[in-house]
Chains A and B, each alone.
Chain A
C-alpha cells in the first residue's frame, strides 16, 4: 500500500508529493500548501512520484489557484499517466494560473 508523503522543497520552491493523494490524505497537502499560498509566487508541485490523485485533490488545486489569484501560480511538474489522465478529463489545463509541465 502506497502511503502519501508531502515535503517542502526549495529549488524549485514548492512541494514534493509521493504515493497516493485522495480524500484521506488531501488535508495533509492542504496544510503544507498554506505557507506557500500565503507567500505567493510560483509554487511547484513535484508529482513525479505521485501515482494517484482523485477529484478531492483537484478541488484543492482549484481552491489553491483561486487563493493565489494574481499573486502567483501553480506548476504541476511531471505527472504520471494516471494523473495526467485525470487532469485531461477534468480540463484542468484550461485553468489560468495552473501549468502542467511534462
Chain B
C-alpha cells in the first residue's frame, strides 16, 4: 500500500449552505476511503460530521464551514468549525416542535465529542468528533 495515499491531515472549507452538506459528506467519504476505514466507522463519521455541519449552517450565521481531518494511529479526529456563535441550549422536544437531535446524535455516533463555543467577541465554534478506527 502506498503510504502517501493515506492523508494524515486534510482541510477544506465549504460555504455554510444546505447544498454543501452532501459535498462535505463526499469529502469525508473520500478521506475515509483513502484511510481504509471500516464501512461502519465511515458511516457513523459521515453522519456525525453532516449533523455538525448542518448545525453550523442553521445556527451559526457563519458564511463558511471548515472541515479539518486528522488521522491518528487508532482514531480519526474531524473538526467542524464555523465563524458564528453556537447557541448552547438543552431543548426538550415537545409534541409540537420536535428538534434538537443533532448533538445527542453526534454523541451517539462518535467516541468523543467536544464543542468549543464561540462568543460574540470571539466568534467561531468548533465541534470535534473523534472516532476510533476499529470498533471492536
Whether A55 lies near B43 (C-beta < 8 A) is no
B95 beta carbon closer than 8 Å to chain A: yes
Q: Which of these, A1, A24, A59, A85, contacts B98 with CB under 8 Å?
A: A59
A 52-64 binary contact with B (CB < 8 Å = 1; else 0): 1011101100110
Residues of B within 8 A of A24 (CB): 17-19, 21-22
Tell me the smallest distance from the CB of A2 to a CB of chain B, in Å. Answer: 7
Number of interface residues of A (CB under 8 A): 21
- Chain A residues with Cβ below 8 Å from B25 are 20, 52
A23-B21, A54-B54, A55-B54 are known contacts; what are 19 more A-B pairs with Cβ within 8 Å? A1-B23, A22-B18, A22-B21, A22-B54, A23-B18, A23-B58, A24-B17, A52-B22, A52-B25, A56-B54, A58-B101, A59-B98, A62-B98, A66-B95, A81-B39, A82-B43, A85-B47, A89-B108, A89-B109
Cα A4 to Cα B58 in complex, Å, equals: 20
B27-62: CB near A (< 8 Å → 1, else 0) gives 000000000000110011011001100100110000
- The answer on a CB contact under 8 Å between B54 and A23 is yes
Kindly provide the distance from the CB of A27 to the nearest chain B CB, expressed in whole angstroms: 9
Q: Quick one: closest B residue to A23, CB to CB?
A: B18
B47–A82 CB distance below 8 A: yes
**Cα–Cα, bound, A1→B25 (Å):** 10
With a cutoff of 8 Å between Cβ atoms, the chain B residues found around residue A54 in the complex are: 21, 47, 50-51, 54
Main secondary structure of the interface of A (DSSP, over half): helix
State which residues 85-122 of B face A: CB under 8 Å.
95, 98-99, 101-102, 105, 108-109
Cβ of B4 to closest chain A Cβ, rounded Å: 26
Give the B interface residue count (CB, 8 A).
27
Mark out the residues of chain A between 66 and 97 whose CB falls within 8 Å of any chain B CB in the assembled complex.
66, 81-82, 85-86, 89-90
Provide the residues of chain A in CB contact with B43, threshold 8 Å.
Answer: 81-82, 85
Look across to chain B and name the residue whose beta carbon is closest to the beta carbon of A55.
Answer: B101
- Contact check: which of B26, B95, B99, B109 meets A1 at CB < 8 Å? B26
Cβ contacts under 8 Å, A58 to chain B:
101
27 of the cross-chain contacts (CB-CB < 8 Å) are: A1-B22, A1-B23, A1-B26, A2-B22, A20-B22, A20-B25, A22-B18, A22-B21, A22-B50, A23-B54, A24-B19, A24-B21, A52-B25, A52-B47, A54-B47, A54-B51, A54-B54, A55-B101, A56-B54, A59-B99, A59-B101, A81-B43, A82-B43, A82-B46, A82-B47, A86-B105, A90-B105
